Chain A
Amino acid sequence: MDRLAGDAEVIRLRDERLRIIRLGSILDVEGAETGLDGGLIVVVEGGREKVGLFVDELLGQQQIVIKSLETNFEKIEGVSGATILGDGRVALILDVAGVIRVWLTRQARAERRDYASKCLEEE
């Protein structure tokens, strides 16, 4: 793993360099794995961009029926819908392009904040 200017993390996968999105911080999960050795990176593509999603654990693969969250709720950025698992629990379905958008927005905001604090220091 390499670090580019500040918070941007990248990994090298064969000939490519992939940006890492820590899903735990995008989804505000408390207690999510923070050390890259403790989790896994899932390489995904969305909106013609390829990124690595850093997750705690992989559980499995299954076919599901997507249900809309908007029937009773609102649209949530980064989430395209939900599904009901075999045990009755609800699982959210990620929208990879949306997750990338959320991450870019936050990244830009963090940069602006850093820039602003730097300007203040200089003053």
Chain B
Amino acid sequence: METANSSTVQSVTADTSEVLTFVVDGQHYGVDILRVQEIRCWESVTRVPNTPDHIRGVLNLRGAIVPIIDLRIRLGLKQVEYEPTTVIVVLQVRSEHGSRTMGIVVDAVSDVCSVKSSDVQETPDFGVNVDTRYMRGITCVSDPMVIILDADRLLSSDAMSVTAI
């Protein structure tokens, strides 16, 4: 019992955070687990017209209408056929409009791991070719390397904004 308590305490200390990791195009990515609402299997969505390519559509999540974003397209990777391991990770995103619920499509979820903030390195600058604004950092201590994403920036209003008519 005591060990369980101490591990809970450890997970909420300022310098470690729990991260849900998932795979997109062979590369591991992570998001803060406190932002993850649920993980569900891929199911077909209702397409929404005149939206950017990475927005697959909207899904009925127990009565709430939630936009679904394909992370592959958002990250500029090539689109693939969805497989049985393809899942939707439902995230809470905070923006100037308050808290929103959104889903991202990833190839597979892999793990939950604790990451010390001292192990997170700042994302290197790749110039204008790679948009690193939505990456919070990279952990290199663990193998494989995990890119930690900033959900708020990844799914900000700018990224969601509707394309010109």
Given contacts A72-B66, A72-B101, A75-B162, contact A90 B59 (CB under 8 A): yes
Leading 6 A-B pairs by shortest Cβ distance: A27-B49, A90-B46, A73-B67, A72-B100, A105-B165, A84-B60
Interface residues of B in 57-77 (CB under 8 A from A): 57-60, 63-67
Question: Contacting B65 at CB < 8 Å: which of A26, A27, A29, A71?
Answer: A71
Given contacts A82-B58, A90-B59, contact A76 B50 (CB under 8 A): yes
Q: Does B11 contact A (CB under 8 A)?
A: no
Q: Cβ of A76 and Cβ of B60 under 8 Å apart?
A: no
Residues on A lying within 8 angstroms of B by beta carbon are 26-29, 67-69, 71-79, 82, 84, 88-92, 102, 105-106
Q: For residue B101, which residues in chain A have a CB less than 8 angstroms away from its CB? A: 72
Residue in chain A with minimal CB distance to B61 = A72
Q: Cβ of A73 and Cβ of B165 under 8 Å apart?
A: no
Question: Contacting B49 at CB < 8 Å: which of A78, A89, A90?
Answer: A78
Q: For residue B49, which residues in chain A have a CB less than 8 angstroms away from its CB? A: 26-29, 76, 78-79, 92
Bound form: Cα–Cα A26–B49 in Å = 8
Interface residues of B in 39-96 (CB under 8 A from A): 45-46, 48-51, 57-60, 63-67
A-B contact pairs, 21 of them (CB 8 A): A28-B49, A67-B63, A69-B48, A72-B101, A73-B48, A73-B58, A73-B100, A73-B160, A74-B157, A74-B161, A75-B162, A76-B48, A76-B50, A82-B46, A82-B65, A84-B63, A84-B65, A88-B60, A89-B60, A90-B45, A90-B60
Residue in chain B with minimal CB distance to A26 = B49
Q: Does B108 contact A (CB under 8 A)?
A: no
Q: For residue A79, which residues in chain B have a CB less than 8 angstroms away from its CB? A: 48-49
Given contacts A69-B65, A71-B100, A72-B102, contact A77 B50 (CB under 8 A): yes
Q: Cβ of B65 and Cβ of A67 under 8 Å apart?
A: yes
Q: Cβ of A92 and Cβ of B48 under 8 Å apart?
A: yes
Bound form: Cα–Cα A115–B115 in Å = 59
Question: Contacting A28 at CB < 8 Å: which of B50, B63, B65, B161?
Answer: B50
Which of B57, B59, B60, B65 is most buried by chain A, counting CB atoms within 10 A of its CB?
B65
Question: Contacting A74 at CB < 8 Å: which of B65, B66, B162?
Answer: B162
B65 CB → nearest A CB, Å = 5
Inter-chain pairs besides A73-B100, A74-B162, A76-B162, 16 sampled, C-beta below 8 Å: A28-B49, A67-B63, A69-B65, A71-B100, A72-B100, A72-B101, A75-B162, A76-B48, A77-B50, A77-B162, A82-B65, A89-B60, A90-B57, A90-B65, A92-B46, A105-B165
